[in-house]
Amino acid sequence: MQQFFGLYLLLILLIIFLIMLAQKLRMAYPIVLVLGGLALSLIPGMPSVKIHPEVVFIIFLPPLLFEAAWNTSWKELWRWRRVISSFAFLIVIVTAFIVAIVSSYLLPGFTMALGFLLGGIISPPDAVSASAILKNVKAPRALQSIVEGESLLNDASSLIVFRFALIAVDSGRFVFHEAALSFVVVIVLGILCGLAIGVLYYVVHRWLPTTAKMDVVLTLTAPYVMYLVAEYFHVSGVLSVVAGGLYLSFRSDVILSHRSRLEGSNVWSTLGFVFNGIVFMLIGLQLPGIVSDLGAVSISDAIGYGLLISLILIVTRILCTLGSSAFTIFISRYINTADKNPGWRMPLAFGWAGMRGVVSLAAALSIPILMDNGQPFPQRNLILFITFVVIMVTLVVQGLTLPALLRWLHLEEPGKTLPPEEQEAFIRRQLGENSMDLLEGQFGDLLVANKSLQRLKGKIKTEFEQDGISDKAAQDAYQEVFLHLLAEKRKVLQNINKDVDIDEELIRKHHRLLDLEEEELRIRFKKL
């Protein structure tokens, strides 16, 4: 036990080092982690590490989906609902069908059922991969919203395709109308399950006497409860977590106190950081075990099959995105759409941003070794190897080239969206004007005699003046002086703390206040 604990501790430290290396190289850290895990797995004497599917589906997937859903804009999700829903459901099925046809014709020993099984595994872009990659590239907000929204929902449809294909391979029969009805039922009931549990958590947060720490713990349990309850009733656990996460996020300003939101944000960002690092590292560490299980299939043939399927996936997705653009131009004559003329640039970037990840690998690993009749499951090892190759090609190749593609395409936000700087200035101006009107109108009498309120008015006015600074040199000077003052205040607190009569808890309180001031400054000027 101590040996394994030491190994996991070393793994986390290595993850932190690789993420620092990725930041130094200005690369998306999932790519560096996958390659680092791959290199680590090739070291002689390195213990074999294998992902257990239930570890991914129960331990890692629910919180990562919940965090992604919590940080997803419901407004953006609704704005792009048509393209997101079509790619999350319809295009997943189309992609699985094309993979089934190609693999049944070109891969020896593959039937249509096995092809659908492979297609269900590798057809959906991964939510974790997409979010992590796009955070490290300069992409339009619309592209990020569509990719993240699609990847949040498509796991559900792909796992349903996978489930029915698994039954078809095992039983030798597939009834289309039964599968189609079950597909709809699993999706709808999964969403309703997540919303119902979300409402229960809403009631607990809103009307029971919880503290900030209780609120954080409750949010940590929410994704697991949503997922496990949905899976118990054989509906989509993925959509349950996504629906419940979106609902609770939308109501967070009502059900959570400011302290709960601050502490929860810190806990969830740290948890997401660790979990993301572990799952991407684990992908790379799987190679030796996957290769050793190939059996009679040569490694060169398996790599060729994997590259072929990867090419089919990439081409199919790009054709689907370009086709959906043409369809949008046509249908916008009859209905309102978010973007009446998407062109080819944004769809091409959307098509190229379809990275696969750990959910696909976990689905492949969950294929049983033996069927119900006791026979070995056909082509299991080859399916697993092809899935690994697809993940490596889409994550590493597409992930590394996506920034260059975005620079070449010169993408702009669709519609008449204001630049982020103007949007932020507008929000701050509205907030400031509202506060000034309240102070001078509703609290005018108090303002005359209360010096503290006068200082508050001066602070609000100062914020207006800061927003009016357009000269970059002046902004930099303001930040430099402010940060220097904070640093000197911290030194003063350290000296005061040497006095044995001063309570150290008060010193820590003022340290936290200085930290909040610095964080506010850095957020205001986006100097993170």
pLDDT for position 159: 79
Average pLDDT over residues 259-273: 87
Task: Say if residue 220's pLDDT is above 90.
Answer: yes
Residues 254 and 372 in one domain: yes
CA 424 to chain centre: 24
pLDDT for position 455: 77
Residues 245 and 369 in one domain: yes
Residues 235-253 pLDDT 10s? 888 889 999 999 999 888 8
pLDDT for position 3: 57
Average pLDDT over residues 375-391: 87
pLDDT for position 37: 86
Average pLDDT over residues 75-89: 83
Whether residue 474 is contained in a domain is answered as no
Residues 490 and 380 in one domain: no
pLDDT for position 208: 92
CA 200 to chain centre: 25
Average pLDDT across the chain, whole number: 82
- The number of distinct structural domains making up the chain is 3
Task: Say if residue 527's pLDDT is above 50.
Answer: no
Residues 361 and 505 in one domain: no
Please list, residue by residue across 71-100, b when 16 or more beta carbons sit within 10 angstroms of its beta carbon and e when fewer do.
ebbeebbebbeebbbbbbbebbbbbbbbbb
Residues 124 and 100 in one domain: yes
pLDDT for position 198: 96
Confidence of residue 189 (pLDDT cuts 50, 70, 90): very high
Whether residue 287 is contained in a domain is answered as yes
Return phi, psi of residue 370, to 5°. Answer: -120, 145
Whether residue 248 is contained in a domain is answered as yes
Task: Say if residue 56's pLDDT is above 70.
Answer: yes
The CATH number covering residue 367 comes to 1.20.1530.20
Q: Which residues contact 121 (CB under 8 A, 6 or more apart)?
A: 158, 162, 360, 363, 364, 383, 387
pLDDT for position 128: 66
Q: Which residues contact 160 (CB under 8 A, 6 or more apart)?
A: 120, 182, 183, 186, 187, 236
Residue 71: closest CA among 261, 337, 274: 261
Task: Say if residue 342's pLDDT is above 80.
Answer: no
Confidence of residue 228 (pLDDT cuts 50, 70, 90): very high
Whether residue 476 is contained in a domain is answered as no
Residues 326 and 434 in one domain: no
The Cα 425–Cα 86 span in angstroms is: 36
Whether residue 435 is contained in a domain is answered as yes
Confidence of residue 470 (pLDDT cuts 50, 70, 90): low
Q: Residues 344, 346, 347, 349: what is their CA dihedral angle, to the nearest 10 degrees?
A: 120
Residues 247 and 310 in one domain: yes
The Cα 87–Cα 77 span in angstroms is: 13
Residues 454 and 488 in one domain: no
Q: How many other CB atoms sit within 10 Å of the CB of residue 126?
A: 26
Domain end: 359, 376, 409, which one? 409
pLDDT for position 176: 59
Task: Say if residue 167's pLDDT is above 90.
Answer: no
Whether residue 414 is contained in a domain is answered as no
pLDDT for position 528: 38
Average pLDDT over residues 508-522: 80
Average pLDDT over residues 292-298: 75
Q: Please tell me the pTM assigned to this model.
A: 0.81
Whether residue 127 is contained in a domain is answered as yes
525 or 248: which carries more pLDDT confidence?
248
Task: Say if residue 404's pLDDT is above 50.
Answer: yes
156 or 20: which carries more pLDDT confidence?
20
Residues 110 and 201 in one domain: yes
Contact 96, 164 (CB under 8 A): no
pLDDT for position 465: 61
Domain end: 366, 384, 409, which one? 409
Task: Say if residue 424's pLDDT is above 70.
Answer: no
Q: Which residues contact 67 (CB under 8 A, 6 or more apart)?
A: 245, 268, 271, 272
Contact 43, 290 (CB under 8 A): no
pLDDT for position 312: 93
Confidence of residue 417 (pLDDT cuts 50, 70, 90): low
Average pLDDT over residues 281-301: 79
Average pLDDT over residues 201-222: 94
244 or 64: which carries more pLDDT confidence?
244
Task: Say if residue 143's pLDDT is above 70.
Answer: yes
Residues 403 and 423 in one domain: no
Task: Say if residue 162's pLDDT is above 90.
Answer: no
Average pLDDT over residues 94-105: 90
Domain that holds residue 137: 2-409
Average pLDDT over residues 485-505: 81
Contact 32, 17 (CB under 8 A): no
Whether residue 374 is contained in a domain is answered as yes
Residues 224 and 314 in one domain: yes
pLDDT for position 248: 94
Q: How many other CB atoms sit within 10 Å of the CB of residue 32?
A: 24
Enter the tokens of residue 517. Answer: 């001031």
201 or 112: which carries more pLDDT confidence?
201
Confidence of residue 11 (pLDDT cuts 50, 70, 90): confident
Average pLDDT over residues 261-288: 85
Residues 297-335 pLDDT 10s? 788 888 999 999 999 999 999 999 998 888 777 777 777
Task: Say if residue 99's pLDDT is above 50.
Answer: yes
pLDDT for position 179: 65
Residues 69 and 213 in one domain: yes
